[in-house]
């Protein structure tokens, strides 16, 4: 199993902006490297706010409809996050089961959500 971050874009819009909150749109790819199908049931995220000194903020999302990934296929999951820092470090995981009911885990590598410098953030890229 493999998970990767395809992108994490800062997506400001007048209707969403609230002082001290920064919206991001992220796309993740989950690739099933097993010879059997997997069912993804939830994802969990851990946020570390570098600006305000917040430790870990945890967010869990249970899918209303489970995600079914066939053998050797990929699934793309788009999700939006609202963070409270111009620089937030994120890591996460997708949890599910295989055909026999055994737990499986797609760990998402750590990545940054950084507001671009020209939009009030620190130095860095607009996306991952």
Give me the domains of the chain, ranges plus CATH numbers: 2-119 (2.60.40.1470)
CA distance 97 to 65: 14
pTM tops 0.85: no
**Banded pLDDT at 46 (limits 50, 70, 90):** confident
Rounded Cα distance, 6 and 26, in Å: 7
Give the C-alpha separation, 14 to 12, whole Å. Answer: 7
Question: Is beta strand 74-83 parallel, antiparallel or unpaired with respect to 22-31?
Answer: antiparallel
Q: Can you give the pLDDT at residue 126?
A: 44
Asked if 87 contacts 110 with a C-beta cutoff of 8 angstroms, the reply is no
Say if CB 59 and CB 7 are below 8 A apart. no
Closest CA to 43 of 56, 58, 53, 32: 58
Q: Residue 108: is its pLDDT beyond 70?
A: yes
The pLDDT, as a whole number, for residue 125 is 45
pLDDT at position 75 is 93
Q: Tens digits of per-residue pLDDT, 49-107?
A: 877 666 565 666 777 788 899 999 999 999 888 888 888 888 889 999 999 999 999 99
CA dist., res. 65 & res. 51, Å (int): 36
Rounded CA gap, 61 and 78, in Å?
A: 13
Q: In the prediction, which pLDDT does 29 show?
A: 94
- Residue 128, pLDDT > 50, answer no
Question: If we measure between CA atoms, which residue out of 33, 52, 30, 25 comes closest to residue 41?
Answer: 30
């Amino acid at each position: 199993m493999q998970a990767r971050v395809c992108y994490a874009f800062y997506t400001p819009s007048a209707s969403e902006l609230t002082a001290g909150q920064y919206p991001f749109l992220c796309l993740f790819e989950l690739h099933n490297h097993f010879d059997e199908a997997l069912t993804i049931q939830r994802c969990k995220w851990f946020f570390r706010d570098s600006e305000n000194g917040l430790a870990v903020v945890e967010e869990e999302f249970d899918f209303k409809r489970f995600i079914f990934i066939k053998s050797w296929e990929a699934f793309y999951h788009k999700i939006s996050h609202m963070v409270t820092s111009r620089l937030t470090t994120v890591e996460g995981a997708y949890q599910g089961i295989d055909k026999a009911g055994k737990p499986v885990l797609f760990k998402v590598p750590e990545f940054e959500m950084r507001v671009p410098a020209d939009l009030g953030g620190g130095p860095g890229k607009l996306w991952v």
